[in-house]
Amino acid sequence: MTEPLLGWPSWVGVVAENLEAQRRFYRDVMGLREVDSSADWVGFDMGEGRVFELLRRDPQVPEYAERRYQVGFEVSNIRAARDELVGRDGEVVGEVQGGEEAGALWAYFRDPEGNVFEITQRLRDGSGPD
């Protein structure tokens, strides 16, 4: 039996129209612990290396063009997993992104109904922006 290509989601993101309103809701109402942010995203620690992230909607960036929830599946080797998905006719949305400074590498795909999902390879323990 071969090992599964995708692991359990290590990242869940919400592409938000109003980043500050969403930040206040998830931090103040839902009680999530904010751990990092920039002008375009806010990260919350969900424990065990899992991240819940808010991302500012940006019509110029395909993976963040629409409001939605999005998941990131853990993979052990981003390039091998990406190649495998492409070989299985997975629809790619951009190149591999991230790096050591972010603590992870990630790449986006679209399913047959247009939903965007991510594959993620962690480069260190803890969280980094996705």
Confidence tier at 125 by pLDDT (50, 70, 90): low
Count how many domains the chain has: 1
Which residues span the domain enclosing 44? 9-122
Strands (DSSP E) contained in the chain are: 9-16, 33-37, 41-45, 51-56, 68-74, 91-99, 104-110, 116-122
Q: Could you report the per-residue pLDDT of 47-66, keeping only the tens digit for each?
A: 888 889 999 999 999 888 98
> Residue 1: inside a domain, yes or no?
no
Q: Given CA atoms 99, 103, 107, 110 in this order, what sign does their dihedral have?
A: negative
pLDDT tens for 31-48 read: 999 999 999 999 999 988
Does residue 127 lie in a domain region? no
Q: Which has the minimum average pLDDT: 1-10, 69-78, 82-91, 115-124? A: 1-10
Do the domain assignments include residue 115? yes
CATH of the domain at 96: 3.10.180.10
